[in-house]
Structure 1
Amino acid sequence: MKQNLLKIVFAVFALVGIGFAMNTNTVNATSGDFTLKPEASSSSKVNIDGGFYYIDGDPGETVDLKVGVYNTSKESRQFIVYGNTAFTTDEGQPGYDKLKVKDPNLKISMHDLFQNNKQIVTVPAGKDVVVTMNLTIPTQTIGGFLMGGINIQPYHESAKGTVAQDGTLIKNKFSYSLPIELTQAGTKRDDVNYKINLVKPRIVNTMDGKEIGVAANVANTSNAFVSGLSSKATITKYGDKGFKKTETKDDQSIVPTSNYNYTVGWGKEPLKAGKYHIKMVYSGNGVRTWVLDKDFTITNAQANQFNKLAGHKPNYLWLYILLAVLVLALIMGLGVYLGKKGNKGKSAPSRSNNSRNRRRRRR
């Protein structure tokens, strides 16, 4: 049941959003004048029924992965073929177009399992070529899934330029990927383990444009994988019961042994220094729930830096009030001082007259 669900999910990735453009925009399968699809393997351990590569083999076994590259343009072209390690994009989706992926929990990189990686192939105009990638299943116990992809892009071609509605020139260099999911036959499957590494201020992208906010770096530290998670993040501030920021996101799929930045926008409010708490709840298929908690602090330096980047002007009202109070206190103090000095000047002659009257009486 779980395997079938995963196949459906990966089929969606392969057919709807087969690849990612080099400018991180999702493109459809006809952009860039080439397409690709998985081809049947000579190994019985490779299944492509879901539109991606599902491998369930023995440790140390080598399997072949075949991909068909179709050149739909009117001229011969060269393509470069990579076998890459999967990562999690900041949108919470699997990505396959990075040549190097680093994570402190990543022990086995799929990129290193390919024997004939980085192939350059020539495809005639209107023709197709089948590329074979040889992959060796690691002998080290995985305890879950290894995820990666076969990524293909034009070789030594200039990016194509298109003009947006606002007149901006956008250059796209298209790249497509086919997902790979690898398991070891007969091994025990680990459970997912999510945690928040850290939370820090950031300028975030929202439906209303860029705004100030924070990014929670969320990690899946195990080789397990659950797709299509719903999520909700809630941020509160210590000492301020009226402060609350929330963010909800659907279809979050955190790749095994990877991390990504889950962003929460602040709206129109500036950042304020202080101690905060974030609570994140992930739920899968309405059955399982994972709750993550973490305290974090925003310093004065961070608040000033990101408020400036976001265009928030400093609020000097408190300074103006303080100056007004000091000026008022100075005026009042000066008034009291001058009043006392004046009173002393007036009382001095009366004492002198009294002394003269006393002398006259004595005579």
Structure 2
Amino acid sequence: MVLRQEDQPAVKPNLRLQTVKQGLVNSHTAILANLQNTRAESLGEMDVKAEIRKVGQSKVLYQNHKTDLQMAPNSNFNYGIDLKNKPLKAGRYQLKMTIKGNKGSWVLTKEFTITRQQANKYNDKAVELPKTNWWPYIIIGLLAVIILFLIWLLWKRRKNDEDEPTE
């Protein structure tokens, strides 16, 4: 319940994009954007659109759209952008978020970097990512080497038997 003396709220909500980082949401790769409402006023229904691009490029790599979100006064939360079972890749990126609500609208942007170590860490923990299993290739390679070695031994033995003089 909100009690007011005037029809217009004295405080307008204000959104800030605090941090952007890689992570997991329900064991799936994601980008986490921490949104903060810095004022003592709740945001009504929010419509959030997020786009991620490589820095300096116009092609959208990942996008997300959610409606009917709400945010409490003086609060923050991590808005997750699911990468749709694609692995995280190292590089410099830019996040652009367009947030519209019945108490205002905001366009927030922030650049962030994903290192190779961070990408590998979360990709290894993620589920449903296509992973290359190298063991079959290693086993096939070893078997091929062994077979070639055995063929060479048999060929050498046969050649030695033919070269020996018979009495």
For residues 288 and 252 of structure 1, the distance between their equivalents in structure 2, rounded to whole angstroms, comes to 14
1:279 is aligned to 96
For residues 133 and 97 of structure 2, the distance between their equivalents in structure 1, rounded to whole angstroms, comes to 31
Equivalent residue of 2:118, what SS?
Answer: helix
1:191 is aligned to 12
For residues 9 and 22 of structure 2, the distance between their equivalents in structure 1, rounded to whole angstroms, comes to 39
For residues 132 and 56 of structure 2, the distance between their equivalents in structure 1, rounded to whole angstroms, comes to 22
Q: How far off is 1:295 after superposition? A: 0.7
Q: Structure 2 matches for 1:170-185, cutoff 5 A?
A: 185=5
For structure 1, the 5+ residue unaligned runs are 1-53, 57-182, 317-363
1:203 is aligned to 24
Equivalent residue of 1:244, what SS?
Answer: strand
Q: Deviations over 1:101-133 (max 9, x none)?
A: xxxxxxxxxxxxxxxxxxxxxxxxxxxxxxxxx
CA contact (8 A) 1:225 1:254 kept: yes
**Please, which of 32, 41, 44 is the counterpart of residue 215 of structure 1?**
32
Structure 2 CA distance for partners of 1:307 and 1:55, relative to 1, 3 Å: closer
List structure 1 runs of 4+ shifted beyond 3 angstroms: 185-188, 239-243, 311-316
For residues 2 and 63 of structure 2, the distance between their equivalents in structure 1, rounded to whole angstroms, comes to 39
CA contact (8 A) 2:51 2:60 kept: no
Counterpart AA for 2:10: R
For residues 241 and 281 of structure 1, the distance between their equivalents in structure 2, rounded to whole angstroms, comes to 16
For residues 310 and 214 of structure 1, the distance between their equivalents in structure 2, rounded to whole angstroms, comes to 13
What RMSD over aligned residues (CA atoms) do the two structures have, in Å? 2.7
Structure 2 CA distance for partners of 1:192 and 1:288, relative to 1, 3 Å: closer
**Please, which of 234, 243, 249 is the counterpart of residue 66 of structure 2?**
249
Counterpart AA for 1:225: S
Aligned residues: percent identity?
35
For residues 38 and 98 of structure 2, the distance between their equivalents in structure 1, rounded to whole angstroms, comes to 17
For residues 118 and 82 of structure 2, the distance between their equivalents in structure 1, rounded to whole angstroms, comes to 16
For residues 315 and 293 of structure 1, the distance between their equivalents in structure 2, rounded to whole angstroms, comes to 38
Using structure 1 for the length normalisation, give the TM-score. Answer: 0.33
**Correspondence 1:306 to 2:122:** yes
Q: Deviations over 1:52-111 (max 9, x none)?
A: xx253xxxxxxxxxxxxxxxxxxxxxxxxxxxxxxxxxxxxxxxxxxxxxxxxxxxxxxx
Q: Deviations over 1:21-60 (max 9, x none)?
A: xxxxxxxxxxxxxxxxxxxxxxxxxxxxxxxxx253xxxx
Q: Structure 2 matches for 1:29-68, cutoff 5 A?
A: 54-56=1-3
2:147 is aligned to none
Equivalent residue of 2:85, what SS?
Answer: coil
Counterpart AA for 1:298: I
Q: How far off is 1:261 after superposition? A: 0.8
Structure 2 CA distance for partners of 1:266 and 1:55, relative to 1, 3 Å: closer
Q: How far off is 1:268 after superposition? A: 2.6
Q: How far off is 1:288 after superposition? A: 3.9
Structure 2 CA distance for partners of 1:250 and 1:222, relative to 1, 3 Å: same
CA contact (8 A) 2:30 2:83 kept: yes
Higher relative contact order (CA 8 A, sep 6+): 2
For residues 32 and 21 of structure 2, the distance between their equivalents in structure 1, rounded to whole angstroms, comes to 6
Q: How far off is 1:201 after superposition? A: 1.3
For structure 2, the 5+ residue unaligned runs are 135-167
CA contact (8 A) 1:233 1:278 kept: yes
Equivalent residue of 1:217, what SS?
Answer: strand
Equivalent residue of 1:301, what SS?
Answer: helix
For residues 270 and 230 of structure 1, the distance between their equivalents in structure 2, rounded to whole angstroms, comes to 27
CA contact (8 A) 2:54 2:93 kept: yes
Equivalent residue of 1:216, what SS?
Answer: strand
Counterpart AA for 1:310: A
How many residues in Structure 1 have an aligned counterpart in Structure 2?
131
Using structure 2 for the length normalisation, give the TM-score. Answer: 0.68
